[in-house]
Amino acid sequence: MKKLLYILICVTTPVAFTACSKSFLEMVPLGSQVASSTSDYDKLMNSPDFYQSRNAGGWQEVVLMEDDLAAEDGLFSPVSQHMTRLFQWQDVIYYPNDSYQRQPLLLSGLMSNMYQLNKIINEVMNSTEGTDAQKRSIRAEARATRAWSNFQLINLYGKPYQAATAGTDLGFPIITQADITVTEFKRGTVQEMYDFIIKDLTEALPDLPVVPAIRTRMSKPAVEGLLGKIYLFMGRYNDALPMLNAAFNDLGAGSAQLYDYNQTMGTGGSFLPMDPNLGPTKGPGNNFIDLRESVLFKVYSNGRYNGNLYGNNGLVLTPQTAALYGASDLRLLLYTNKNPDGSLNAGGRLRKYGVQYTRYGLELSELYLLRAECKARLNDQPGAVADVETLRQHRMPAADAAVPAVVTGDQVALIKFIIEERIREFAMEGYRWFDMRRLSVDPLFAGITFTHTLYKKDGSTTSYTLRQPDRLVLQLPYLFMQYNPGMPNNP
């Protein structure tokens, strides 16, 4: 199990710290940076690599595996072989003889960041000039960011969390050193990774600011919300709710706020005008620096080039997903029944406009839905309804925002309604992949299946069914395993 970190760092190229002043921190080969002062480490935490991913294509790998989308054959068939395999949930995504050989971009980016985060965590307390409080705060931010990165990795390469099996299910290597000479790594278990994530977050929490000096940096409400999400994904609802409540309590004026689509999508609204390919030209999906709804700001570039503008690559909503929206739901304005060339979709299916950016950290809308789900699972149905309706009132006319009465009095129906609201809010954004995994081991959703449909020009279809449980976990890619031949791969 050799050279794991080395190969992943080398694939990603040296890191450019564009947010820092002109100094040795700007563009230095990994392994040769010599930060010394507390200010140096603070500048390292300003690196855009911790909150933005401008390399087109990385988050698309997660989007393509969610089950709220389908594909149009004539538009989807020219895409890359990797995209096709992801859509079909094939066992192997990256083969050694692929004409285009690369590491998954999300994996490469997270691992390159891990090197920098471990460097900060392990060294900042011995830095010069700064106060102890400043050093502890920087270390806390780095630990929280490492925890967030590990949560992404375990949801790609480890099985969905189940308390009964997490102690034996293979996880992802826990890496704590910024040392490319280390040559021995082991995968550990899913339980070990979740324990490590929670330890990083809980120990970081006391040293984090309630309001960060820079909105792209970690904060107390961001970590509280992230802890709440992780506990909920683990089925620990009694632990999740206090964290989610704390996050809301710490979110003060001037922090994350919901957009009201009744205003922004209305006549003269701030998201307008509508572009035939990009949709709301001034909406968050086309505005990289829009942080208004972000509790934890992380953004991926969907790209306008390299065939990566996924709304224009033949992906459409499934009819089942489209049917979840009411006629007055303003989120429907993010979709069109026209093909990229302006012609009508023959089947009436909706494609998402080719928005350029996906926010995948922790959005305020998700925080409301996480707390609503947690309350519903703990049988606080009125509280759950209130949170869901707060979001819905910002996405449609108030007269249509109420949760249906037939749902409000039924705990299971309410939980399922909230899960569906997550689809309505985040369809084709990658969030559903994380939900698919946890729902697959949730007794309330026993027997759930996941399918993809390819619609052909002649009217016929080809369907693909995700093979559970194996394809709820990605195999470690070829280049990764080549340098770690003793490491067990996922089936």
**pLDDT at residue 84 greater than cutoff 60:** yes
Please say if the pLDDT value at position 10 is more than 70: no
Residue-wise pLDDT tens digits, 21-53? 333 223 233 444 578 999 999 999 999 999 987
Mean predicted confidence (pLDDT) in 289-301? 93
Residue with tokens 């990229």: 340
Say yes or no to pLDDT of 167 above 50.
yes
Looking at residue 17, its pLDDT comes to: 27
Q: Which two tokens stand for residue 88?
A: 């079909």
Omega before 491 cis (within 30°)?
no
First to last CA, the chain: 18
**Calpha distance 187→185 (Å, rounded):** 7
The 3-state secondary structure of 279-301 reads EECCCHHHCCCCCCCEEECCEEE
Closest CA to 265 of 405, 395, 403, 112: 395
DSSP state of 487: S
Long-range pairs of 278-282 with CB within 8 A, sequence gap ≥ 24: 278/353, 278/354, 278/355, 278/356, 279/311, 279/333, 279/334, 279/336, 279/352, 279/353, 279/354, 279/355, 280/333, 280/334, 280/353
Can the peptide bond before residue 443 be classed as cis, meaning omega within 30 degrees of 0? no
User: Phi and psi at residue 279, in whole multiples of 5°?
Assistant: 75, -140
pLDDT at 55 over 80: no
Q: Quick: pLDDT tens for 418-435.
A: 999 999 999 999 999 999
* Ranges of each domain in the chain: 4-56+100-254
Q: Which contacts qualify for 331-340: CB closer than 8 Å, 24 or more apart?
A: 331/261, 331/395, 331/396, 331/424, 331/425, 333/261, 333/265, 333/274, 333/279, 333/280, 334/279, 334/280, 334/283, 334/285, 336/276, 336/279, 338/276, 339/72, 339/75, 340/75, 340/277, 340/312
φ/ψ bin of 154: left (φ > 0), alpha (ψ from -120 to 50), beta (otherwise): alpha
227 compared with 77, residue with greater pLDDT = 227
pLDDT average, residue stretch 278-302: 91
Nearest in space to 405 (alpha carbons), one of 415, 416, 396, 413 = 413
**DSSP symbol at 343:** P
Specify the range with the lowest mean pLDDT, choosing from 70-79, 140-149, 198-207, 401-410: 70-79
Q: Work out the angle at residue 68's Cα, subtended by the Cα atoms of residues 62 and 70, and round it to the nearest 5 degrees.
A: 90
Query: Quick one: pLDDT band at residue 54, thresholds 50, 70, 90?
Result: low
Q: Do residues 247 and 231 make contact, with C-beta atoms less than 8 angstroms apart?
A: no
Diameter of the chain measured on Cα atoms: 70
User: What average pLDDT does the structure give for the chain?
Assistant: 89
Global confidence as pTM: 0.92
Q: Give the mean pLDDT of 294-302.
A: 90
- Classify the C-alpha dihedral 206-211-213-219 as positive or negative: positive
Helix (H, G, I), strand (E, B) or coil at 136: helix
Question: Is 50 exceeded by the pLDDT of residue 20?
Answer: no
Mean per-residue pLDDT for 473-479? 91
More confident residue, 170 or 100: 170
For residue 8, pLDDT beyond 60: no
Question: Residue 440 gets which letter from DSSP?
Answer: T
Position 24 scores a pLDDT of: 26
Instruction: Using the predicted structure, report yes or no on whether residue 223 has a pLDDT greater than 60.
Output: yes
Least confident of 17-31, 195-209, 414-428: 17-31
Q: What is the pLDDT of residues 318-332, one digit of tens each?
A: 999 999 999 999 999
Residue 357 parent element (H or E): strand 357-359
Task: Give the length of the chain.
Answer: 491
Rounded Cα distance, 281 and 283, in Å:
6
Q: Do the bridges between strand 451-455 and strand 69-72 make them parallel or antiparallel, or are there none, so unpaired?
A: parallel
Beta bridge partners of 71: 315, 454
Q: Which residue has the tokens 């350029």?
A: 356
Write the class of the CATH domain 4-56+100-254.
mainly alpha
Give the rounded percent of residues in the chain with a pLDDT score beyond 70. Answer: 89
Amino acid at 282: K
Cα distance between residue 301 and residue 358, in whole Å: 7
Q: Is 86 exposed, middle or buried (0-12, 13-18, 19+ CB in 10 A)?
A: buried
Distances (CA, A) of 457 to 76, 386, 454: 12, 45, 10
Closest CA to 289 of 234, 215, 231, 186: 215
56 pLDDT more than 80: no
pLDDT attached to residue 356: 80
Which is higher by pLDDT, 76 or 204?
204
